[in-house]
Amino acid sequence: MNIKFLNITLIFGLIFNLSVFANCDLTQIKDLERKKDGAVRLFARNGSFETAILEKSKDCSTDEILFDLSQSENIEYFDFVTKMKQAPARYTAYVSENDSIGILQYEGLASAMDYYLQSNNITFPEEQMLKLGGRHTIVVAYAKNTKQIYANDDIISSNSQSLPSTYEDLLLMADELKSSGIEYPISGMFNNQRDLAIMFVNMYLSLGGELFKNSESPKIAIRNKTGIKTLEMMKSVIDYSNPDHFSADNASIEQNWKDGNSAIGLFWASQYNNLKSDNTSIHAALSLNDGNTPASTIWFKGFTFARYVVEPEAIAAMISMKYSFDDLSANSNHELWIDKLDNNPAASALFANINAGVPDYPVSPYVSLLTESIGNSIKEYLIDGGKAKSVLKQMEKDYTKLAKELEYR
């Protein structure tokens, strides 16, 4: 059997009609190895959405066509890149986002999709087919996301407060609410190191900060006044939150919000259905007084195929991922589906961010490493305190260590 590995110039002799994708029938794929442990190998971060995608994909498995599904809280990029450089790659496809795709695009490990999407008569709206600065589609995006603020309207109105528009206003309001008996006026996803890293990047960019020496350089550039201001603002905000949230799970934090224990929540738009109540409203993200835009960024979520996989496995991964995403987007209000960004509060809040000039979260190998490496030092600072300048130095060391492992100079 002569099977070629995928590269940028993909040649497929396998043409399917659309019914294959609708009913997820992998048995029609010529030369897909049967009885193989993991003919379809899918990867995603931990998360309820990601778990739902992978679990749904198992509809495509059979007694002879086996699936290998993997999830992880964090991506160990050195290990991940090493596995994706194998032939065949450890994973045939993965649920991709702004940060995870950056390094794989840079390493040439994300397969071009255009040819075999066309060969199999699959079309997506143009806004879902992401080239990310290149010539070829490397992500099919299904959902958008962004950080918003949530308001407990009862607490705010009963305490004669108004919705803040800046973080500085939020701190003034939080101080007054705490004095009036609201123990923890602010809530958010402060349990997750990656979320804390994203919060830092969002604030830092909104203040006009440059993360690196230049766009082509891996040398980090956050040890400056903007970095100090960002960390100190994060510390000031989170000092008004429940310290137990640093170690709580997502469901507990969301339930704490629904129980009405905080006035303002810093959450993702995609969490709206888990957080909504009669007292909850969702709004554009907060700005900082010296900021250029609200302190948020726009994210996508979709799927990407590995470059180094054999053709039948690539087709099987494509069918499985498309089937899963299509099913969830049709039957779930779980995420902000790109084809359903219409009349709902979360979508309205997302568009408020976009209309205010909120940028996309940078797709870059260096930002991928930054997002993955700095969260632990930020979390320690928020819990234990210290000097922001020293924390920025440690964040730089954490990033540089990871960059050197991947031989980025």
Cα–Cα distance between 221 and 285 in angstroms, integer?
25
Residues 129 and 162 in one domain: no
User: What's residue 409's pLDDT?
Assistant: 62
Cα–Cα distance between 66 and 37 in angstroms, integer?
6
Tokens at 283, concatenated: 């709004």
Residues 214 and 99 in one domain: no
Confidence of residue 15 (pLDDT cuts 50, 70, 90): very low
pLDDT digits (tens, 9 = 90+) for 112-164: 988 778 877 777 888 899 999 888 999 999 999 999 999 999 999 999 999 99
Residues 293 and 307 in one domain: no
Cα–Cα distance between 151 and 277 in angstroms, integer?
11
User: What's residue 114's pLDDT?
Assistant: 87
Cα–Cα distance between 139 and 125 in angstroms, integer?
12
Residue 216: domain span: 145-298+355-405
The total domain count for the chain is: 2
Residue 271, in any domain of the structure: yes
Residue 12, in any domain of the structure: no
Cα–Cα distance between 314 and 294 in angstroms, integer?
40
pLDDT digits (tens, 9 = 90+) for 16-36: 444 455 578 898 888 888 767
User: What's residue 13's pLDDT?
Assistant: 37
Tokens at 195, concatenated: 């979320």
pLDDT digits (tens, 9 = 90+) for 339-351: 888 778 999 999 9
Residues 255 and 328 in one domain: no
Residues 84 and 199 in one domain: no
CA 102 to chain CA mean position, Å: 12
Residue 293, in any domain of the structure: yes
Name the more confident of 186 and 38.
Answer: 186
Name the more confident of 78 and 196.
Answer: 196
Residues 263 and 359 in one domain: yes
Phi and psi angles of residue 355, each rounded to the nearest 5 degrees, phi first: -65, -20
User: What's residue 6's pLDDT?
Assistant: 42
Full-model pTM: 0.91
Q: Would you call 392 exposed, middle or buried from its count of C-beta atoms within 10 A (0-12, 13-18, 19+)?
A: buried
CA 39 to chain CA mean position, Å: 27
pLDDT digits (tens, 9 = 90+) for 310-328: 888 888 998 899 999 999 9
User: What's residue 17's pLDDT?
Assistant: 44
Residue 5, in any domain of the structure: no
Name the more confident of 330 and 157.
Answer: 157
> Is the pLDDT assigned to residue 7 strictly greater than 70?
no
Residues 175 and 120 in one domain: no
Residues 48 and 137 in one domain: yes
Residue 10, in any domain of the structure: no
Residues 62 and 78 in one domain: yes
Residue 387, in any domain of the structure: yes
Residues 230 and 378 in one domain: yes
Confidence of residue 287 (pLDDT cuts 50, 70, 90): very high
> Is the pLDDT assigned to residue 1 strictly greater than 60?
no
Out of 284, 309, 340, pick the residue that ends a domain: 340
Residues 272 and 392 in one domain: yes
Opening angle at CA 24, ends 145 and 61, nearest 5: 100
Residues 158 and 205 in one domain: yes
Residue 364, in any domain of the structure: yes
CATH number of domain containing 57: 3.40.190.10
Other CB atoms within 10 Å distance of the CB of residue 7: 12
Phi and psi angles of residue 180, each rounded to the nearest 5 degrees, phi first: -95, 5
Are residues 186 and 204 in contact, defined by beta-carbon separation less than 8 angstroms?
Answer: no
Residue 165, in any domain of the structure: yes
Q: Which amino acid is at 356?
A: A
pLDDT digits (tens, 9 = 90+) for 254-282: 999 999 999 999 999 999 999 999 999 99
